[in-house]
Amino acid sequence: MPELPEVESVRRALETCILNRRIISTTVRTPKIIASKGNYRLDLPDKTDDFKKFCNQKTIQKVSRRAKNIFIELDSGYILTHFKMTGQLLFLKEKPNLTQEKHIHILWELDQGWLAYKDIRKFGYVLMIESREELESHFTNYGMEPLSPSFDFEVFREKMKKSSSTIKKIFLDQKIVVGLGNIYADEVCFMSGVRPMRKGSSLTKQELKKLYENIQIVLRRSIETGGTTKYTHTLPDGSQGRFVEQLQVYGRAGEKCFVCSTPLIKEVVAGRTTVYCKMCQK
């Protein structure tokens, strides 16, 4: 659920409160969160002690994002997080009561304040990354960053035209363009007037241009409001994103299209609930 706007909103907010803070101590309550890239296996070694050593006494130099990952640059190495469905990074002024906060899995004591990784469903993960090379190797399968100047229309068009997958699947799998998930994939398709189950190869140049532009428009608009809080997403201070008020189709199955008043259709595409307007989208 945290897609690019949610992750980017968190990154921006974190930058204002943890930059140049030193990590005093690290508490790991749920070792499997730092096990390995969300691929939880019982036979993986417990990295708790290594992780504490890795973090402690280092200073936070930078907070960056690639796709839906946030990575915190330290004096040496990086702490990388992926929120998956319900992960959160929270900045707390006081030490949280861990007895009450049962979903906080990792807690960093900073020289001012506390940083917590919270995750109700424990799908997400936190990794220690030693080098720039290792960091890059985590990103090798990712496509273009849609809000970067390097997001090129001709490259986008060429790759989309070559794909026999549905638009929905292409957007979800992050290989051509990153950052879209179930919410924004549907929103972008609606804004662009194309149905999510269309094949990439079937799209006209004009349709591709609309998709290309609307990806950037909807992501930027959402970031401005702190993202979409539909379930658990919050900013590091616990406040909610407000983009849910602007959603056109996601979560509105059966309700009237804001443009033509036709009831919106719900259908499973690429294994995910998908909502579209059969009148407005061709």
Partner DNA sequence: ACACACCCCTGGAAGC
Partner DNA sequence: TGCTTCCAGGGGTGTG
Residue of the chain from 56, 61, 165, 216 that contacts DNA (CB under 7 A): 165
**Secondary structure class of 101 (helix, strand, coil):** coil
**88 near 119, Cβ under 8 Å?**
yes
Segment near DNA (CB under 7 A), from 19-27, 70-78, 121-129, 211-219?
A: 121-129
38 touches DNA by CB under 7 A: yes
Report the SS3 class of residue 32: helix
Q: Is 68 a residue that touches DNA (CB under 7 A)?
A: yes
Number of residues that bind DNA (CB under 7 A): 35
3 annotated active-site: yes
Interaction between residue 85 and DNA (CB under 7 A) = yes
Write down the least CB distance from residue 25 to DNA, Å. Answer: 25
CB 25 within 8 A of CB 56: yes
> Nearer to DNA by C-beta: 61 or 174?
174
Q: Which residues contact 102 (CB under 8 A, 6 or more apart)?
A: none
SS3 category, 268: strand
Cβ distance to DNA smaller for residue 18 or 35: 35
Instruction: Select the residue interacting with DNA from 21, 22, 65, 272 (CB under 7 A).
Output: 272
Q: Which stretch binds DNA (CB under 7 A): 44-52, 119-127, 143-151, 153-161?
A: 119-127
User: What is the distance between the alpha carbons of residues 228 and 241, in angstroms, rounded to a whole number?
Assistant: 5
Q: How far apart are CA 282 and CA 269, in angstroms?
A: 16
Let me know: does 258 contact 248? Beta carbons within 8 Å: yes
Which of 92, 106, 183, 215 forms a contact with DNA (CB under 7 A)?
183
d(CA 88, CA 6) in angstroms, rounded, equals: 10
Residue 54: CB minimum distance to DNA, A: 21
Distance CA(59)–CA(55), nearest Å, equals 9
Query: How far, in Å, CA of 68 to CA of 245, rounded?
Result: 22
Catalytic residue among 11, 66, 68, 118: 68
Residue 123 neighbours by CB distance under 10 Å: 15
C-alpha–C-alpha distance, residues 223 and 7, integer Å? 9
Kindly state whether residue 6 participates in binding DNA, applying the rule CB under 7 A.
Answer: no
Q: Choose, by CB under 7 A, the member of 270, 276, 277, 280 that binds DNA.
A: 270
Choosing from 163, 222, 234, 281, the residue that interacts with DNA (CB under 7 A) is 163
Binding map of DNA across residues 199-218, x = CB under 7 A, - = no contact? --------------------
Stretches 13-21, 106-114, 151-159, 265-273: which one binds DNA (CB under 7 A)?
265-273
C-beta of 86 vs 192, nearer to DNA: 86
Whose CA is closest to 80, among 98, 56, 62? 62
CA–CA separation, 105 and 117 (whole Å): 6
- Contact residues toward DNA (CB under 7 A) are 1, 3, 32, 37-40, 67-68, 82, 84-86, 102-103, 120-123, 141, 163-166, 169, 172, 174, 181-183, 250, 270-273
**Active site (catalytic) residues:** 2-3, 68, 272
